[in-house]
Amino acid sequence: MFLLKKVILILIAAILVISCSPTRSFVLEEPQEGKSLVVGAVLVENAGIEDVYEAKKANITVVIMGKHQQDGAEKIVGYRVKTDQDGYFALPNVPAGSFVVKGLEIDLAYNTHMLIGSRWEGNTQIYQTVDNMIDHHVAFWPPEITEKIINLQIRYFHIDASSRIFDQVFKSLQDNRLNLQEMSYTMSSPLKYYQEKYPEWGWFK
């Protein structure tokens, strides 16, 4: 009983606030004091869904979970952002903290609209298809990052004909062949991509 009361008191003391924002359109917002810019990229290979073999980068909805401290309490926020034509995404003016790519919403082949969520086995995040919605549960958070620009790198997803999902993280790609052997990819680091595309943006001054 004492242990149960102690757990309840701890939970009450650490108020957890979870919110979710609608899909954000990319806008060149200038830096706000105390906020960060989160950048990343997504590359998806469809290896057989509807007998189609293709690579997708553009217009993928990325679901990101962020955790930070606010007024002495832990706050968790869900973000939805779409990749541009090159597969990159940016979230300007968000609180620095810990970030997890929780899932994707993507159109594949001819008629497949796929929701990809994730679960954890220990500290390992495992991506899988889900039926109705991508939940916001995160079992293991990476270390918090307090830098002005937070780079989530290039997130690669390979989806086979049985809808099994295999993922990997790359800093950059330089004429790399992955699972679709007839295709190769060159993608710069998300940080470098935005620096070169928007050199006058306040985040890079």
Domain range for 187: 16-24+35-200
The pTM of the full predicted model, rounded to 2 decimals, is 0.88
Residue 1 maps to a domain: no
Give a yes or no: residue 111 inside a domain: yes
User: Is-contact 163 59, C-beta < 8 A?
Assistant: no
Query: What pLDDT is stored for residue 21 in this prediction?
Result: 62
Give domain status of residue 5, yes or no: no
- Residue 11 within any structural domain of the chain: no
Residue 177, in any domain of the structure: yes
What phi-psi label fits residue 69: left (phi over 0), alpha (psi between -120 and 50 degrees) or beta? beta
What total of structural domains would you count in the chain?
1
Cα-based distances in Å from 124 to 1, 140, 142: 33, 8, 11
At 134-178, the pLDDT tens digits run 999 999 999 999 999 999 999 999 999 999 999 999 999 999 999
Q: What is the pLDDT of residue 20?
A: 53
pLDDT of residue 2: 44
pLDDT, averaged in runs of 10, over the chain (205 residues): 43 40 82 96 98 98 96 94 98 97 98 98 96 94 95 98 98 97 96 97 95
